[in-house]
Every structure is written in structure tokens, then in C-alpha cells.
Amino acid sequence: MSGMSARILKMLRNNRDYISGEDISAELGVSRSAVWKSIGKLRDKGYIIDAVSNRGYRLSEGIDLPISDEIHRYLETECFGSEIVYMDSVDSTNNLAMTLAARGAVHGTVVTADQQTDGRGRLGREWISPPGTNLYLSIILRPEVSPAGASQIPVLSVMASIKALERTVSDLPFRIKWPNDIYCRGRKVSGTLCEMKAEIDRVNHVVVGTGININMKLPDDSIKDKATSLLVETGNEYSRVRLAVFLLEEFERVYKRWLIEGNLEFIIDEWNSFSLLKDKQIEVRTANRTVRGKALGIDLNGALKLELPDGSVRFVYAGTATLHGASQGS
């Protein structure tokens, strides 16, 4: 958004009644024609601005787009979201964030979009990303930790997502399915994709992408048995802007604590309390094999602790887990 449009938007927000085009032009030192053109640009973005002859302009309604101007109205963080890059449409917010990170984008830079044309989940799976409904957000991190240490970040991100969801809807049974999905009543409502650029002993940057199904009506096909949204679960619509704010605030809080503590010990009990799999018989598919056992939760590094049938414990650092012989409902 241009500087003039942003300043006019701020003036409209600060005035509950109408404000004349003459007053706006005098305040900004521009012509009334320039004011009119900026009002038009705001309307093109989706802002509803009433105009009445001899009275002026009044902001009737904001918009629920995860753009910088809307998110910064509410955001209370130190650096997460200090820079926000918004796209009407992008192939993947993670792709763009990785490109911006390689070009030197600062720690905490956020990429959001109204829709993704090639949204991705783990293992290259498609993430359906229609416009006007859900949250697609990626954040660039530059942690001064080893690549092994950075592998703990997905645990932080998923915990931030579930806390943000709880701040939005407090009475839904959200559960974490290791390693990075959030389920509600047996269907996926959110997923996280972390990508890293690193050298042997240092991390250049990490991009954490989060998709949350908010106001999406599920299509009448196979996805309806696997995915859900807040709208489907409650019948109500929710603000994408507010949920983006909650996510960034919760993520920064837990990220800062993690840097101080140096491991995940401070969050393990809470993470396990949300676990969909803990104390259940599960099947874990890794790159090389499939193992079955009882899920015991996660350890200090975010690995899944799996009790095998012989009583031994195996730590699984990467893989896909499913409940063995049972529904994934909560």
C-alpha cells in the first residue's frame, strides 16, 4: 500500500464520523484529486468507504486480508512480522520466503498470501489454498544455532499454532499429530512445513510455513474426510488477520524462550498434553522402514519416543505417524 493511501486509511480509522476530502488534502498537503485516487485504491483493495456529498468520507468496514496494514493494527511483537510481504496470489509463501531469505531478508520477515497456486505440505503433498478463506503464512528465521538445533523449530511452530487456534476458538478439541499437523475431531485443520538453508556448522536461514483452514467450505470430494476448517467445525467465520496476529505473537514468545533454554524441555509436557498419539499404538513410516509401537511423546530434541513390542524405546526423528488399527479422532 502506498504511503498516501496508508495515511488516509489511518485518518479514516481515527475519525468515527465523516471527514471531508478538503480536510484530508489539507492535512496531507495534496490535491483533492489525489485524495480521491487514493480512496479508489483503498476500495480496490476491499475497504468499504462511504462517500457523502458535502460530508466527505467514512470508513465503513475494514477487510480481512492478512496485509501489513491490517496485521500491524493489532500485532504486539518485537520482530516477528515487523516486515510483512503480502501477495494476492503466489505459488507458495514458503517458496517466496526462501527466495527473500536468500536475498537477505531480515529475521522475522513474514510472507502472507490470499491464495496459493501450488501450496505444499510435508513430503511434497498438495495443500489446497483457495482465496478469501484460509491463512497462508511463512516466516523467515535466522537462529544462531546448529542445524541439529534448528530441527527443533517445527515443535515450536506447531505449539504456537495450537495456542493461536485456542485463542480464536477456545472450545474445540485441537490435537497435535506428530510431527507437525493439528487435527480437530479426526481431520486436519493446520499443517506446518519447515525448510532450511544451512552449512555443516551453521544455519543460514529457516523458513516456517503454516497453513490454517479457517473459513473454507470443504469441496464434495475425498478431502472432506481428511480435512476440516474452523467454519466447518463451528458454523462461524473467523478473522484471518486476528489469527495471523495470534500466531506471530505465540510463535515469538515460544521462540524467544527456546533460545534462552537451549532445548525443548520447557514445552514438552504441554506439547504432550495436546498429542493425538501419546499412549496409543501407532505405525511410523520412515524413509527406510515401518515400525510399530506405543507413542510415549517427544523428547528434548523433538524426536518421537516409541516403545517397541519388546519393551525397548526407539527415538524417531523423521517420519509419518498414524494410529494403528484405529480412527484418528480425538
Q: What is the pLDDT of residue 45?
A: 79
**What's the rounded mean pLDDT across residues 25-30?**
90
Q: Of all residues in the chain, what percent carry a pLDDT higher than 70?
A: 93
Gap between the Cα atoms of 314 and 284, Å rounded: 11
Query: Sorting pLDDT into bands at 50, 70 and 90, what band is 49?
Result: confident
Q: What is the pLDDT of residue 318?
A: 83
Write the pLDDT tens digit of every residue in 288-313: 888 899 999 999 888 899 999 999 99
**What's the rounded mean pLDDT across residues 172-182?**
93
| Residue 76: other Cβ atoms inside 10 A | 9
* Residue appearing with cell numbers 493425538: 276
Given a cut of 50, is residue 26 above it in pLDDT? yes
CATH 1.10.10.10-classified regions of the chain: 3-61
Gap between the Cα atoms of 215 and 132, Å rounded: 8
Gap between the Cα atoms of 105 and 98, Å rounded: 9
Amino acid letter at 115?
Q
Gap between the Cα atoms of 116 and 22, Å rounded: 41
Task: State the sign of the Cα–Cα–Cα–Cα dihedral 167, 171, 176, 177.
Answer: negative
User: 87: which strand partners?
Assistant: 113
List the one residue out of 157, 162, 90, 161 whose CA is nearest residue 119. 90
**For residue 151, what is the DSSP state?**
T
Write the pLDDT tens digit of every residue in 58-115: 887 778 899 998 899 899 999 999 999 999 999 999 999 999 999 999 999 999 999 9
Greater model confidence, 141 or 316: 141
CA dihedral 73, 75, 77, 80 (to 10 degrees): -100
CATH 3.30.930.10-classified regions of the chain: 68-273
- The strand ranges marked E within the chain are 48-52, 56-61, 84-90, 110-116, 135-141, 174-177, 181-184, 187-198, 203-212, 281-285, 290-298, 304-307, 313-316, 320-323
Domain 68-273 indexed as CATH 3.30.930.10? yes
Contact (CB, 8 A) for 139 and 162: no
Query: Sorting pLDDT into bands at 50, 70 and 90, what band is 328?
Result: very low
Q: pTM for this structure?
A: 0.85
Q: Of all residues in the chain, what percent carry a pLDDT higher than 90?
A: 58
CATH number assigned to the domain covering 281-323: 2.30.30.100
Cell numbers linked to 238:
473467523
Q: What is the pLDDT of residue 159?
A: 96
Q: What is the pLDDT of residue 244?
A: 97
Greater model confidence, 131 or 258: 258
Gap between the Cα atoms of 65 and 114, Å rounded: 7
What is the CATH class of 3-61?
Answer: mainly alpha
Contact (CB, 8 A) for 24 and 57: yes
Q: How far is CA 253 from CA 64, 138, 158, in A?
A: 24, 17, 13
* Lowest pLDDT segment from 18-27, 184-193, 214-223: 214-223
Given a cut of 70, is residue 1 above it in pLDDT? no
CATH 2.30.30.100-classified regions of the chain: 281-323
